Amino acid sequence: MYRAVRAKGDTKTKRSRRALKLPKKAAEALRAHHRRQAVERLQAGEKWQDHDLVFCREDGTALDRWQVRREFQKITMLAGLGEDWTPRELRHSFVSILSAHDVPVEDISDLVGHVSTHVTETAYRHEIRPALTKGAQAMDNILKRQSRSA
C-alpha cells in the first residue's frame, strides 16, 4: 500500500497499532517541534484549527502528501542528497542501518511491523557494509597487482 494511515485516522492493520520507544534524539526533536507549533498556534489565533496533529500546516490543518513530498525534497537537497528521495525510503534506510549495526532481523521485523522476516529481508533490508567491504577489497587487489607490475 502507498500509505499506512487511512482517512479516518485508523491504521492499515491492527498490528500497526503498537507503542514504540523513540530514541532520545527523536524525542527531543519532537519536543522542540511541539514548542514551535505552540508559537504557530498563537500566531494563527482564530485561524487555528485544532485537529490534534503532530505535523500540520501553520493553521493546524492536515498536510497533503504533495506538501510533505515538497518539504522532504527541500531537506534532501540541503543535505546534498538530491531531490529524488521520498519519505517512504526512510523506512528502507531505517531497516538497512539497523541491519548494518547487527540488530537481529527478527527485532527489525517487529519494529517495522512485518508479520515475518521475509519481507524485511527481501524488500527492505539493503546491505550497506558488505557492499562497501567488497569494493574496498577489490580495490586492494587491483592496487596490489599494479604496484607489483610497476
CB 108 within 8 A of CB 99: yes
| Percentage of residues of the chain with pLDDT beyond 70 | 87
- pTM: predicted TM-score of the whole model, two decimal places: 0.65
Segments of the chain assigned E as strands: none
Q: Which of 4-18, 24-38, 85-99, 102-116 has the highest mean pLDDT?
A: 24-38
150 vs 92, residue with greater confidence: 92
Choose among 6, 2, 1: nearest CA to 17.
6
Q: Which residue shows C-alpha cell 520507544?
A: 21
Closest C-alpha among 113, 126, 101 to residue 18: 113
Triad 145, 146, 147: Cα angle to 5° = 95
Q: How far, in whole angstroms, is CA 13 from its chain's centroid?
A: 20
Q: How much of the chain exceeds pLDDT 90, in percent?
A: 31
* Residues contacting 111, CB < 8 A, separation 6+: 20, 94, 98
The one-letter amino acid code at 118 reads H
